[in-house]
Amino acid sequence: MKGLMKLSRILLILFIGVISCSNKERTKNTMNIDGANWAEKLGFPKGSRVVILHADDIGMCQEANQSAESYLLNNQIQSAAVMVPCPWFNDFSEWSIKHASFDVGLHLTLTAEWKTYRWGPISNVRDVPGLIDDDGYFYHEVPGVVMHASAEEVETEIRAQIDRAIESGMTPDHIDTHMGTLYGSAKYAKAFFKVAMEYNIPANVINFTPEIVKKFRKQGYPISDEMVSYGQDYTLPKLDDFYSVPTGKSYNDKKNNFYQLIQSLKPGLSEIIFHPSVETEGLKKITNSWQQRVWEAKMFSDPDIIQFMEDEGIVFTNWKEIMNRFEEKVKS
């Protein structure tokens, strides 16, 4: 077993080396892709509102895995991301390996937000002491991470999570960030972007236009000029905008809020995240957001919502298609 793990590690290092060389070759061409937004840059028709419906927090619990698997198998969403440090990662990893045609990425995790349901680093705890709270887990909230963890520790841990997924047999189609932690500081974002480019795995990097910067600063994200400059150096495809499915006081209220979100979308490539989970007593003990998650576990199989998005002319994509289109554009 140790011999196989060592071989896997060597192959992984060689793979990253090859990718790094190819990235250097294509960097010159990336900025020359024409288009008013990233949907157009990737070859979608002008004026298209292109959307990725993306399930977050998979692997957190069995209830989340069950919901994501159903949605993907029925082609009702386009993408999902699994949390490597969480108890149900192995279960979803095994499923995704058997269903490799689906877009499954990694929800890079540096926080453990729930009161009694916690997890910690994949990397050796001696290498990342700043990521660990007094109870031996990740911090509950993003400010705890930013106050204690260096960018070097963050990079060590996100690399460990990606490597663990690859060693399990997965081929991650994208990476993103749980609770937005990797946008918690400019140095974290720099590490995030660098790792994505080295592994050639697209991250949920948003094109930092002045409008986008203003929007996310208003939401509390520290989008500094330094972070914007790191975003400009990022050479993989980007999103034009990013949203969460709105909450609601009832299921119908939540649907109506989602309709308003869809109608507000501008042309371009947008990712809309949500956190679906099947209702169980166990889920209710994990999180006080269980009701929103249960509603989100049925929203995108709801005929009303499916018809609404069709009527709105929404074009759907996923990170697999985005990377295929991007590579073709860079070659040409």
pLDDT tens digits for 257-315? 999 999 999 999 999 999 999 999 999 999 999 999 999 999 999 999 999 999 999 99
SS (H, E, C) the chain: CHHHHHHHHHHHHHHHHHHHHHHHHHHHHHCCCCCCCHHHHCCCCCCCEEEEEEEEEECCCHHHHHHHHHHHHCCCCCEEEECCCCCCHHHHHHHHHHCCCCCEEEEECCECCCCCCCCCCCCCHHHCHHHECCCCCEECCHHHHHHHCCHHHHHHHHHHHHHHHHHCCCCCCCEEEHHHHHHCCHHHHHHHHHHHHHHCCCECCECCCHHHHHHHHHCCCCCCHHHHHHHHCCCCCCECEEEECCCCCCHHHHHHHHHHHHHHCCCEEEEEEECCCCCCHHHHHHCCCHHHHHHHHHHCCCHHHHHHHHHCCCEECCHHHHHHHHHHHHHC
Mean pLDDT (the chain) is 93
Sort residue 220 into left (φ over 0), alpha (ψ -120 to 50) or beta: left
Q: Tell me, what's the pLDDT at 23?
A: 55
Give the model's pLDDT for residue 4: 46
Which of these, 211, 171, 162, lies nearest to 191 by C-alpha position? 162
Domains and their CATH numbers in the chain: 41-108+173-331 (3.20.20.370)
What's the average pLDDT block by block, 10 residues per block, for the chain (332 residues)? 50 51 53 89 98 98 98 98 98 98 98 97 97 97 98 98 98 98 98 98 97 96 97 97 98 98 98 98 97 98 98 98 95 80
| Per-residue pLDDT, 265 | 98
> Cβ(196)–Cβ(234) under 8 Å?
yes
Q: What is the torsion angle, in degrees rounded to the nearest 10, for the CA atoms of residue 180, residue 181, residue 187 and residue 192?
A: -70
Alpha-carbon span 106 to 274, nearest angstrom: 15
What angle do the packed helices 251-264 and 303-311 form, to 10 degrees? 10
The predicted structure's pLDDT at residue 9: 54
CA distance 72 to 77: 6
Q: Cα(260)–Cα(246) distance, rounded to whole angstroms?
A: 10
Burial profile 129-151: b = 16 or more Cβ within 10 angstroms, e = fewer: ebbbbeeebbbbebebbbeebbb
Q: What is the pLDDT of residues 280-292, one digit of tens each?
A: 999 999 999 999 9
pTM: 0.92
Strands 315-316 and 49-58: parallel
Cα(270)–Cα(331) distance, integer angstroms: 24
